Amino acid sequence: ELKVEQNPLFLSMQEGKNYTIYCNYSTTSDRLYWYRQDPGKSLESLFVLLSNGAVKQEGRLMASLDTKARLSTLHITAAVHDLSATYFCAVVFYNNDMRFGAGTRLTVKP
Partner 1 sequence: GAGVSQSPSNKVTEKGKDVELRCDPISGHTALYWYRQSLGQGLEFLIYFQGNSAPDKSGLPSDRFSAERTGGSVSTLTIQRTQQEDSAVYLCASSFRADSGNTIYFGEGSWLTVV
Q: In the complex, which residues of this chain contact partner 1 (CB under 8 A)?
A: 31, 33, 35, 41-45, 48, 50, 88, 90, 92, 95-103
- What is the per-residue burial (b if ≥16 Cβ within 10 Å, else e) of 56-66? eeeeebbbbbe
Three-class secondary structure assignment of 75-97: EECCCCHHHCEEEEEEEECCCCC
C-beta closer to partner 1: residue 1 or 82: 1
Q: How far is the CB of 78 from partner 1 (least distance, A)?
A: 26
C-beta closer to partner 1: residue 5 or 80: 5
Q: How far is the CB of 16 from partner 1 (least distance, A)?
A: 28
C-beta closer to partner 1: residue 25 or 88: 88
For residues 6 and 99, is the Cβ–Cβ distance under 8 A? no
Q: How far is the CB of 82 from partner 1 (least distance, A)?
A: 20
DSSP 8-state symbol, 15: T
